Structure 1
Amino acid sequence: MSSFDILTILGPTASGKTEFACHLAYALDAEIISGDSRQVYKSMDIGTGKDLADYVVNGKNIPYHLIDVREAGEKYNIFEYQHDFHEAYSDIKNRKKLPILCGGSGLYIESVLRGYSLVNVPENKELRKKYQDYTLEELTAILATYKTLHNTTDVDTAQRAIRAIEIEEYKKEYPLEQNEFPPLNSLVIGVNIDRELRRQKITNRLKSRLDEGMIEEIKNILEKGIHPDDLIYYGLEYKYVTLFLLDKLSYEEMFSQLEIAIHQFAKRQMTWFRGMEKRGTKIEWIDASLPMPEKVEKVIKRINGG
């Protein structure tokens, strides 16, 4: 692994990337750093797909980092992730182990691989309330009035546009605390899953997670005093199941809308990964349907220069 700082395994939801990364970690005596923006939260296990059973391979516990490091209800951001990632990364490297970054949150992964320089801007509740009813088009027009725009390629929702305005307003008044981390030389492996197979796996997995107690998990979080809006903020499972528990959706509406939302999320993940390639990140794609030993062997051969 002398030519790479880190190994990265990425892919859309339901592609099997976590199980694959864990088998690689077993073969390489490596440790996993999660690249998932929601698995950082405690108690949010089934809905975020932590699949902690995957981290036991042939009876061996695979060490993992950046899972269960924040309380449910907190707001975790990319600035914090970048800092936490480098703490874990340095710890692993100092112990002469190989770090494997694994996840599907493209912005988080790209921020550490490319060494994004980020600003730590606190939440402005008054500004968010002011713009909460604006459309994305209106917010984009407001953003265009600033000389420099933050993260213009990622402003695809009203929430992100408001965050961009929040950052620009903050920059007017306060000196910025910069995150300065170097880019990393990573072998990046993408898990490529057939679209129809992915859709089937998403549907089957959603049914399984509901059977495994996802609704009860989210109900328990709410009963601990977490405000519903704070769970809805996390999106996908936490949004739609919370709306169901609040009697704003029927079970059938919840399932149908959530299923569609997860399919759309997977498409956005793939769009982001393709964008990473256009921005200069080389991703070597591997077929998700290959037998696990064959996938592991291919990556190990590639690491060794094959």
Structure 2
Amino acid sequence: MYNLIVILGPTASGKTALAAHLARALDGEIISADSRQVYRRMDLGTGKDYADYVVEGQRIPAHLIDIREPGYKYNVYEFQNDFFQVFDDLQKRGKWAILCGGTGLYIEAVLQQYKMIHVPANPALREALKDKPLSELEEILSTFRILHNSTDTDTHKRAVRAIEIETYYQSHPEIEVQLPEIRPLLIGVDIDRELRREKITRRLQQRLEEGLVAEVEALLAEGLSAEDLIYYGLEYKFVTQYVTGRLSYDEMVAQLNTAIHQFAKRQMTWFRGMERRGIAINWVDVSQPVNERVEKILGLL
């Protein structure tokens, strides 16, 4: 019998709304699997669509959103710990846990129960890698047996940290971690590539109109450095470059739009890789009405 439902899919696929409707039907709660929505006041850039959590006038409880201050470097080790704390609480309260998000490594860290501990900084390794281009760092990451989160290494600092983590694990094979048993049902949101591209472009324009640039300016004004924000990639990387005069507005929009499309493609590559690694994903068509998709999922339970 299942004790966890996972809703995954690329950015702009509508997975949050589906998870919320499913939670409403099951009296469940959502656990976010998004590496950037953990940060407070980083709302438009991380795609916190709060309205999606309201179904039939009722707000669906959601966990692991707005739990860290901007500038903090949240990681998969912390996510795994935080997830299992929430999961245990939901189990005790008799609530369905619905893990929803697009950060493939976070999801797989739960499903595969990766052995994870806090990995300390390795100054010598950082020094050796500091001048290598991002493409070379990604090539180094591809040589590791342990999977890394390629969807979240679009900046130099993140790639170096990923190498640091993988290097530590390879040199400490004795690590053992005991985690609760999970029996997951995985649901993937299948969205046509052209529709996905259209939604990404439209959503980016909407977020710019809603104040994405002002959000970045406010974060800089409260003391975050440009490099702190660029670390988070995608919206924060390109908008920060615009705000600090490194890109024109049109360059920022064009480059960011392209980067989000590439990000969505990498997400799908990760999910297909999960299937190749033996993780069964039941795909539902985003073009179907949400109530039909919910009924299909309920039929699988």
Both structures adopt the same fold (TM-score exceeding 0.5): yes
CA distance in 2, matches of 1:98, 1:228: 40
Q: Is 1:184 equivalent to 2:179 in the alignment?
A: no
> What residue in structure 2 maps to residue 13 of structure 1?
11
Q: Is 1:56 equivalent to 2:54 in the alignment?
A: yes
State the aligned residue count: 298
CA distance in 2, matches of 1:49, 1:102: 13
Deviation per CA, 1:75-125, whole angstroms, max 9, x where unpaired? 011000000000010011110000000000011001101111123112345
CA distance in 1, matches of 2:56, 2:287: 21
Deviates further, 280-289 or 125-134: 125-134
**Contact 2:105–2:148 (8 Å) recurs in 1:** no
> What residue in structure 2 maps to residue 121 of structure 1?
119
SS of the residue 2:100 aligns to: strand
CA distance in 2, matches of 1:143, 1:237: 24
> What residue in structure 2 maps to residue 95 of structure 1?
93
The TM-score with structure 1 as length reference comes to 0.89
CA distance in 2, matches of 1:198, 1:233: 25
Q: Is 1:282 equivalent to 2:300 in the alignment?
A: no
**Contact 1:131–1:162 (8 Å) recurs in 2:** yes
SS of the residue 2:69 aligns to: coil
- Computed over aligned residues only, the root mean square deviation of the Cα atoms, in angstroms, reads 2.5
**Contact 1:18–1:54 (8 Å) recurs in 2:** yes
> What residue in structure 2 maps to residue 265 of structure 1?
263
CA distance in 1, matches of 2:289, 2:170: 54
Change (3 A) 1:177 1:224: farther
Change (3 A) 1:141 1:193: closer
Shift of 1:134: 1.1
The TM-score with structure 2 as length reference comes to 0.91
Alignment of 1:25-104 (within 5 A): 25-104=23-102
In structure 1, the gaps of 5 or more residues are none
Q: Is 1:151 equivalent to 2:149 in the alignment?
A: no
CA distance in 2, matches of 1:45, 1:153: 26
**Contact 1:7–1:100 (8 Å) recurs in 2:** yes
CA distance in 2, matches of 1:137, 1:219: 30
Q: Where has structure 1 moved over 3 Å in runs of 4 or more?
A: 124-127, 135-144, 152-161, 167-180
**Contact 1:33–1:99 (8 Å) recurs in 2:** yes
**Contact 1:155–1:164 (8 Å) recurs in 2:** no
SS of the residue 1:31 aligns to: strand
SS of the residue 2:282 aligns to: strand
